[in-house]
Amino acid sequence: MLVTGKEILDHANKHNYAVGAFNVNNMEIVQAIIEAAEEMNAPVILQASQGAIKYAGIEYITALARVAASKVKVPVAIHLDHGTDFEQVMLCIRHGFTSVMIDGSRYELNKNIEITKKVVEVAHAVGVSVEAELGKIGGTEDDISVDEREATFTDPEEAKIFVDETKVDSLAIAVGTAHGVYKGEPKLDFDRIKAIKEKVGIPLVLHGSSGVPADAIERAVSLGINKINIDTDLRIAFTQAMKDYHREHPDNIDPRKVLGPAREAMKEVIKEKIALFGSAGRA
């Protein structure tokens, strides 16, 4: 069932759990996520980055996600991940996304407020939810790269000003995670998550969540994280299963024989994440 991001995240916020937001790029990935969510009776967010839209085409991405959402009873939102400009966000809204992220984190506070506010005004007028980002999350997510030395943590006071001014529905915060594969173990600033949540009250979003230890995820959720973005762990599961199949069947020429096991491997990872985030049985 297709719903807005706000509907999903406000329920998670009220009942202290987090919803998985998984990145989609093709049909098999969409199917893996939707089957996992349905089997776990969990709400879920299908999110497409600008890179995914460039790769698959916005019509394909939206059509796949809409069909997936219409086939299940669990709540499903279609979300733009790391939208960086107004036009891109509008295009996604016009194609039926029910939630969008405007990532103005590369700008200073006032400019970030300004562009986020503009998106919120238009998106809310047509019933679409908005996620914004404050602070800079390190690492690489498709086209967006932030050098580790330039990554800056979210300031709780600024977060309060930002949320009051923009009226955004959810906020992505920088608290020690990074996009991509971690070199060492990530260290999350739990006191900061708590302080931000106390100031803003709205659903908080954790990006760069692949590779974060389970106990850290659980603690982050208990302190107010309600949306957890996962991309890298799915990529690893998918490509590893493809490599394994190729190694065992070097003469295979049927794409379905490779993509089927890859879809299954990804689905297993998604089910583990859903259980860890506390969203199983919440649909």
**Positions that interact with Zn ion (CB under 5 A):** 141, 207, 229
**254 closest CA partner among 246, 266, 243:** 246
| 81 is an active site residue | yes
In angstroms, what is the minimal distance from the CB of 73 to Zn ion? Answer: 28
Residue 82 structure tokens: 């790391």
Kindly give, in sequence order, each residue whose CB lies less than 8 Å from that of residue 81, ignoring residues fewer than 6 positions away: 21, 23, 47, 48, 49, 50, 52, 101, 141, 229
Is the Cβ of residue 65 or residue 283 nearer to Zn ion in the bound state? 65
Residue 209: which of ligand G3H, Zn ion, none does it interact with, CB under 5 to 8 A by kind?
Answer: ligand G3H
81 forms part of the interface with ligand G3H (CB under 6 A): yes
Copy the structure tokens of residue 180.
């991509």
Q: Which residues pair with 122 in a beta bridge?
A: none
Helices (H), the chain: 5-14, 27-40, 50-56, 58-71, 86-94, 109-125, 156-166, 190-200, 214-222, 232-248, 255-277
Please state, in angstroms and rounded to a whole number, the distance separating the CA atoms of residues 192 and 175.
7
Among ligand G3H, Zn ion, none, residue 231 binds (CB under 5-8 Å by kind): ligand G3H
232 is in the binding site of which of Zn ion, ligand G3H, none (Cβ under 5 to 8 A by kind)? Answer: ligand G3H
Indicate which of Zn ion, ligand G3H, none lies near residue 62 (CB less than 5 to 8 Å, by partner kind): none
**Among ligand G3H, Zn ion, none, what does residue 25 contact (CB within 5–8 Å per kind)?**
none
Site map for ligand G3H, 137-176, x if CB under 6 A? ----x-----------------------------------
CB 10 to Zn ion: min, Å = 21
- Contact flag: residue 180 with ligand G3H (CB under 6 A): yes
Q: Is residue 209 part of the contact set for ligand G3H (CB under 6 A)?
A: yes
Joined together, the tokens standing for residue 150 give: 């330039």
Q: Which of 279, 283, 274 has the alpha carbon at shortest distance from 36?
A: 274
Phi-psi label, residue 82: left if phi above 0, alpha if psi -120 to 50, beta otherwise: left
Q: Which is nearer to ligand G3H, 228 or 258 (CB)?
A: 228
Which of the following is catalytic: 10, 81, 147, 233?
Answer: 81
Q: Which residues are catalytic?
A: 81
Interaction site with ligand G3H (CB under 6 A): 23, 81-82, 141, 179-180, 207-210, 229-233
